Amino acid sequence: MKIKTKKRSNICPCQSSLSYAKCCKPLHTGKADADSPDSLMRSRYSAYVKGEIDYLINTTDKTGPLWRDDVEVWKAELAEFSQETHFQGLEILSVGANAVRFEATLEIEGKDASFIETSLFTTYDDKWYYHSGEFE
């Protein structure tokens, strides 16, 4: 499922300073896989910004606490969050072997909803997946 979003700059939302076409888009379209937890985390942030809902689901670890068996309801919830949220920025604070600590700056209904999270990632068959996260 892909939802339409307002046209934005061609710079990737993950703030890598690369164009979206050369950064996260190949991951979103299945032409490439994330090669590290950092790459997956950035691409997932961009997926929220761009409304790439299927990508978010497909990169979530099925053994993690966020996995939902009712995928259609989950898709609708993710799409609503993506559409109602103004994503203002991403800052990677630290990267470990299977963890990324980051700050996401966002606004929902005119209110600051920014947060800092440490996300944990797993690999299966040489592909990275988001497992879980802990908010500070």
Stated pTM of the model: 0.92
> What is the per-residue pLDDT across 75-120, written as a single tens digit (0 to 9) for each?
999 999 999 999 999 999 999 999 999 999 999 999 999 999 999 9
Domain ranges of the chain: 20-135
Task: Give how far Cα 80 sits from Cα of 12, 28, 70, 117, Å.
Answer: 21, 19, 16, 21
Of 116, 62, 84, 101, give the one whose Cα is nearest residue 5: 84
- Give the architecture-level CATH label for domain 20-135: Roll (3.10)
> CA-CA distance, 36 to 39, in Å (whole number)?
5
Q: How confident is the model at residue 9 (pLDDT cuts 50, 70, 90)?
A: low
pLDDT at site 6: 45
Mean pLDDT of 54-83: 97
User: What residue spans of the chain are helical by DSSP H?
Assistant: 25-28, 37-50, 53-58, 71-84
